[in-house]
Chain A
C-alpha cells in the first residue's frame, strides 16, 4: 500500500478569541483572555460565572440552533478554497440542538417541529446536505474528546482509501445544560480558567467550532498547511468524571499518536494540552506528559485560559490551532497561569515561544476518561510511520438483543417466529439481571447497555467499545432539565448531568470491563448503529476484542417530541443489541462488513452508489434484505426501496425490520442481532421470509437503512 498521507488543506475556526486563522493567531500571540460573566442567556437565580462566548459575527438564522451556525461558519472557512463537496463529514458534537431544545422545553412547547434539529447527529447531516456531500456522515459524541476523535476517524478512513477527502472537526455552543451541569459538579473557576496554576479552581465553559478539510495524498496538495501524522485513542475506565490520577489513559493516547506517526517523543516541538484548569485534569495530564517525554519535556501549554473549554469543539479548535502554530512557527503561552503549580512535575511556557514548529501533539480528554491525542505535523514532515494494515473484519463471537418482549432469549425467540418485539423494554428485566450496587445511579439507557454487555461477555477481556445511540440517555437528560427549570435555574443534579452525556453508558461499560482501548459513541438518528460499525471497522486492529452496542430508550415526554417516527397509537418502543466482536484480517462468519453510507438527497444517485459499493464487495445475490423504513419518512423510503429491489434479480426476500422491532433509533441494532442468528442457523424461517423456509448457505444478508440516509451493512 502506498504511503498515503492525510493533509490539512483547509481550516476554519470561530471561538471566543476570534474568527478565522489570522485573527486567532493574533489573539493567541497577544495572550487575549476574553472571558466575561455569562450574558448569552439570563441566569435568574445564580450570579453569572465567566464563560467564553463567541462575539465575532456569524450567520445565525433563528430557525437553526446555535451549534449548527457555529459549525457552518467554520466549515465554510475550511472549504473556501476547495472545489466540490468533501467525500464525508465527521464531527464531534455534544450539544447538538440543545440550546434551542432547552428553551422550547422551558416554554412547554409541545410541537415536535420545534425539536427538528435537536439530535447531536443533525449538525453533520445539516452540513452534508448544505455542502452536497454524497458520502458517509459520522458524529462522535464522547464529550470533550469528540472533535479530536472525529478527526482521527476521518484520517483513518482516508488512509484506508475509503474516502479521499473529509470535513472533520467539532462544534458546541454555550447552553444551560452544560453551563449549569459543570457548575453542579463544582468544576467552574469563578476567576476564569487558570490552567496549571497553583491556585487553579476549574474550567471556563465556552463555545466554538474548529474544522479541517482533510485530503489524502502522497504529496502535499495545494493549500496544505499541516498533516495529521497520527492519532491515539484510549479510555481510563476509571471514573465517570475524574481522570485516572496517574494519567494512565492520557499516556496511552499520546503514545498511540506518536507510534502511529512513527516518531520518538523527542521529535515533538510543542504539546497542546487539554489543560482545562481543573485540579484533576491538569495534574494527571502533566504527570502523563513527563512520563512520556521525561523531566524536560518539549514546550507545552494549554490555550483554554484564552479560549475556554468548548467541549466537543475543543479537539477541532486545537487541531486548527496546532496547524496555525506549524504554519506560523510559534507556540502559544499558557495564559491564565500566573504561578505554575509546584506540585506538577514540569511547568508550561508562560510566554509565546517563537521557534520552528514541525510536530505538535494535541490532547483532548473527555468525561468517562475518554482520551484522544493527535500528532499534527508540517506538510513536509516525514517519518517511518506505523503502516495502516487495512480495514478490519468484524467477526462476531456472541450477540444479544433486548426490547419490548423482554430479555435476550424472549426477544430472539419472538423475532425468529416472525413476531413483534415492539414496546418498551420492561424495567423489571433490567433490574433482575443487574447488580443493584452497579446500577444504583443509573437510569434506563445505561441499564440496558450494561445488561446487553453482560449478555455477551463471559470471561473474555474487552479492549474497546463502539456504541451507537440516536438520542442518548433521555431519562437523565429530562431529569436534569426538569429539575433545573423547576428550581428557576438554581439547582441541577450532577448525577443527571454526567449521566446525560451520550457516551456515559459506554463509559460505565468500560469501567465494568476495564476496557482501556478506544471508546467511541456515535450518534446519527436511525443510522447510529451503522455509524458505530463504521467506526469499529476503521479503528479496529487485528486481535482487538470489541463490544459493539446500539441502545435507545423511549421517554414518555421527550420521545414524542424528538423522534418523528413515534406513533402515539402504537406507543413507544426501545431496546437495542450488543455483539462481542473480534477484529481480524480475515473473515469468520458471522460478521459485519460496512458497505455504504450516503446522503439520500438525490435518491437515484444514492442507490446507484450503493449498487456500485455492493458490486465492489462481490455480492450478487444476498440471501435476504433486512430493510429499515422509519415511519417518519415512510414515503421517501418506500420509493428508495423500489429502486433498491431492482438491483437484484431475482429479488431477495425482504424483511421490513421495524415492523418487528418497533419504531426507535436503535432498531438497526436489533435487526443486526436477528441477522446474525439467521446467518448462524443458515436458515430464514418461513415466518420471516413471507413464504417458505429458505436455506442461506454462504450468501450474505444485507441490513439496509433507508430514509434521509441510505446505509448498507453486510452480514457475512
Chain B
C-alpha cells in the first residue's frame, strides 16, 4: 500500500505538472482537492483519466470523485480496492 501511495503521489505531481512540489514530501492524509496544491475541477478530471489509463480503475461520477479524491490515502485505497483481478 505504501508503494502504491508513493506511486500515486508521484503520478499526481507528474500528471498535473505541479511546479515546485516534491512528491516525497506530500503527507499521506494531505487533501488532494482543497489543499495547498491548488487543484481545481479540471485537474480532478485529468486525474480521473490518469487513474483509468494507468490502473484501469474507473471513477464514474462527480460524487464518487469527491469521496475518492479527499486525500492521497483515500485515492490509493480506492485504486487498490478496485484494481482489475
Does chain A bind chain B? yes
A residues lining the B interface (CB < 8 Å): 184-186, 239-242, 436-437, 440-441, 487, 491-495, 498
Q: Does B4 sit at the interface, judged by CB under 8 A? A: no
| Contact (Cβ within 8 A) B49 A498 | no
Nearest CB of A to B82, in Å: 17
Nearest CB of A to B56, in Å: 10
Q: Does B29 sit at the interface, judged by CB under 8 A? A: no
Nearest CB of B to A707, in Å: 38
A-B contact pairs, 25 of them (CB 8 A): A184-B45, A185-B42, A185-B45, A186-B45, A186-B48, A186-B61, A239-B40, A240-B42, A241-B42, A242-B41, A436-B19, A437-B38, A441-B17, A441-B42, A441-B43, A487-B53, A491-B49, A491-B52, A492-B49, A493-B46, A493-B49, A494-B45, A494-B49, A495-B43, A495-B46
Nearest CB of B to A434, in Å: 11
- List A contacts of B22 (CB < 8 A): none
Nearest CB of B to A446, in Å: 13
Nearest CB of A to B12, in Å: 13
- List B contacts of A494 (CB < 8 A): 42, 45-46, 49
Nearest CB of B to A473, in Å: 15
> CB < 8 Å: which of A186, A240, A437, A498 contacts B62?
A186
Bound state CA distance, A239 and B48, in angstroms?
20
| Contact (Cβ within 8 A) B20 A436 | yes
| Closest chain A residue to B61, Cβ basis | A186
> CB < 8 Å: which of B19, B41, B49, B61 contacts A184?
B49
With contacts A186-B62, A242-B41, A491-B52 known, is A440 near B46, CB below 8 A? no
- List A contacts of B17 (CB < 8 A): 440-441
Nearest CB of B to A371, in Å: 20
> CB < 8 Å: which of B16, B20, B38, B42 contacts A498?
B42
Bound state CA distance, A493 and B61, in angstroms?
17
| Closest chain A residue to B49, Cβ basis | A491
Nearest CB of B to A188, in Å: 13
- List A contacts of B61 (CB < 8 A): 186
What does the 1/0 interface line of B39-79 toward A look like (CB < 8 Å)?
A: 01111011011001100000001100000000000000000
Bound state CA distance, A240 and B46, in angstroms?
14
- List A contacts of B20 (CB < 8 A): 436
What would 16 more interface pairs be, CB under 8 Å, given A186-B61, A495-B46? A185-B45, A186-B48, A239-B40, A242-B41, A436-B20, A437-B19, A440-B16, A440-B18, A441-B43, A487-B53, A491-B53, A492-B49, A493-B46, A493-B49, A494-B49, A495-B45
- List A contacts of B19 (CB < 8 A): 436-437, 440
| Closest chain B residue to A495, Cβ basis | B46
Bound state CA distance, A184 and B48, in angstroms?
9
**B18-46 with Cβ < 8 A to chain A:** 18-20, 38, 40-43, 45-46
- List A contacts of B38 (CB < 8 A): 437
| Closest chain A residue to B18, Cβ basis | A440
- List B contacts of A487 (CB < 8 A): 53
- List A contacts of B62 (CB < 8 A): 186
- List A contacts of B18 (CB < 8 A): 440
Bound state CA distance, A440 and B18, in angstroms?
7
* 4 residue pairs, one from A and one from B, having the closest CB atoms: A436-B19, A494-B45, A440-B17, A495-B46
With contacts A436-B20, A441-B17 known, is A495 near B42, CB below 8 A? yes
- List B contacts of A495 (CB < 8 A): 42-43, 45-46
- List A contacts of B52 (CB < 8 A): 491
Nearest CB of B to A628, in Å: 36
Among A184, A492, A494, A498, find the residue whose CB has the most chain B CB atoms closer than 10 A. Answer: A494
- List A contacts of B53 (CB < 8 A): 487, 491
- List B contacts of A498 (CB < 8 A): 42
Nearest CB of A to B43, in Å: 8
Nearest CB of A to B39, in Å: 11
Bound state CA distance, A440 and B38, in angstroms?
11
Bound state CA distance, A493 and B42, in angstroms?
9
Bound state CA distance, A441 and B40, in angstroms?
11
Bound state CA distance, A437 and B62, in angstroms?
25
- List B contacts of A436 (CB < 8 A): 19-20
- List B contacts of A185 (CB < 8 A): 42, 45
Bound state CA distance, A498 and B45, in angstroms?
12
Bound state CA distance, A239 and B61, in angstroms?
21
Nearest CB of B to A670, in Å: 29
Nearest CB of A to B81, in Å: 21
- List A contacts of B16 (CB < 8 A): 440-441
Bound state CA distance, A494 and B52, in angstroms?
14
| Closest chain B residue to A487, Cβ basis | B53
Nearest CB of A to B29, in Å: 24
- List A contacts of B42 (CB < 8 A): 185, 240-241, 441, 494-495, 498
Bound state CA distance, A239 and B38, in angstroms?
13
Bound state CA distance, A136 and B2, in angstroms?
63
- List B contacts of A241 (CB < 8 A): 41-42
Bound state CA distance, A691 and B40, in angstroms?
57
- List B contacts of A184 (CB < 8 A): 45, 49
Bound state CA distance, A441 and B53, in angstroms?
19
Bound state CA distance, A441 and B45, in angstroms?
13
